Structure 1
Amino acid sequence: MKTKKGFRLRTICSEHIITAEGIENIDFSRIINMNESSAYLWKNIEGKEFTEEQLVSLLTDEYEVDEETARNDVKQLVAKWKEAGIVE
């Protein structure tokens, strides 16, 4: 997987959101709000190829979370990212 070109993480009024850049990405129904951990993951994979396993490793390295919980969280997060159209 890879983050889709034209989407950037921004912090606006203490909220982490993905914003669209460029005319081809102006569809605000696909923009999602990110919590601290999902923003951390996005910052580490933005513009790069990545796997769910890499996301799990990032979570377990940065946060006090067991691998099973991290794996479940990553599966849900990636599904939301795909639904929002911000990864390919």
Structure 2
Amino acid sequence: MKKNKEFIVRNIADETVLVPVGETTQDFNGMITLSEVGAFIWEHIEEAPDFQSLVRLILNEYDVDEQTAATDAAAFLNQLLYMQMIVPNNPEKQW
């Protein structure tokens, strides 16, 4: 996955937020506050070649079982995709 470069990360008052910039500000009004795990996923999403690799990164960082990590990561990624905050590297290949 690739991050939409029209969203940048900012740390504000001990919270991690995604802020739209550029033309995106016309369509997306506001900021998205990320949980600790959400911020971790955002930080590492481009280095994971596939979904299972991303789940392994989460498992190495947090004390959570694989099923929970996979389910939560999939839900978060689907939201990011829906909001066009990330785009697939290869749209024909499913993550």
- TM-score, normalization by structure 1: 0.81
Residues 1:62 and 1:8: Cα distance change in structure 2 (over 3 Å): same
- Report the equivalent of 2:39: 39
Distance 1:87 1:54 in 2: 17
Percent identity, aligned pairs only, is 33
Unaligned runs of 5+ in 1: none
RMSD: 2.0
Higher-Rg structure is: 2
Q: Could you tell me which residue of structure 2 aligns to residue 85 of structure 1?
A: 84
User: C-alpha distance in 2, partners of 1:18/1:78?
Assistant: 14
SS at match of 2:3: coil
What CA deviation, in whole Å up to 9, does each residue of 1:5-53 have, x standing for no partner? Answer: 221111112221111222x21133474220011101111235x574322
Amino acid at match of 1:66: D
Count of residues in Structure 1 that have an aligned counterpart in Structure 2 = 86
Distance 1:83 1:30 in 2: 16
TM-score normalised by the chain length of structure 2: 0.76
Distance 2:49 2:79 in 1: 16
